[in-house]
Amino acid sequence: MFKSPCEIVVKYFLPACRSLIAKELVETYGLTQVAAAKKLGTTQATISHYLLSKRGEKHIKQLENNALTKSEINIIAKDLATETFPSSNIIQKLCDLCTVLRHNGLICTIHKSYSSLSDTCDSCLIVPTVKT
């Protein structure tokens, strides 16, 4: 079965990122679960699942153990909590985080396990460019 790197990020790593952002919003910035849910555009129940590590838990440790990824997640949480930037900037920061995940090879192992890829595949490391 073929899956693109973006599909792997959305299915496996984005929930882990959102979980870590939710935890930062609640634990560091003192937001309620309802307020954190509003910031992340989700429900209080989802935030509760994130805080109990019921969503995204498989890859949370992998993200927490990567200093650059953890730093980016902390910046996103701070920007959401303080409303420093408009939501369009937060979206760009999430896209930048995806690029970090790809460049660091964090998604390669999972990508190879879900797709018929050779051991020499480097599709996760290639950042797409936009042709104008």
Q: What was the pLDDT predicted at 5?
A: 77
Mean pLDDT of the chain: 82
> Does any domain span residue 107?
yes
List the Cα angle 123/127/132 in 5-degree steps: 125
Render 25-38 in DSSP notation, one character per residue.
Answer: HHHTT---HHHHHH
How many domains does the chain contain in total?
1
CB atoms within 10 A of CB 18: 21
Q: How confident is the model at residue 56 (pLDDT cuts 50, 70, 90)?
A: low
pTM of this prediction? 0.82
> Does any domain span residue 76?
yes
pLDDT of residue 28 exceeding 70: yes
Residue 51 sits in which domain range? 5-114
> Does any domain span residue 22?
yes
Encode pLDDT of 64-112 as tens digits: 888 888 999 999 999 999 988 777 788 888 888 888 887 777 777 777 7
3-state SS, residue 105: coil
Closest CA to 77 of 128, 40, 131, 130: 40
> Does any domain span residue 70?
yes
> Does any domain span residue 123?
no
Helical spans, DSSP H, in 1-132 = 5-8, 14-27, 33-40, 44-51, 57-64, 67-82, 87-103, 108-114
> Does any domain span residue 126?
no
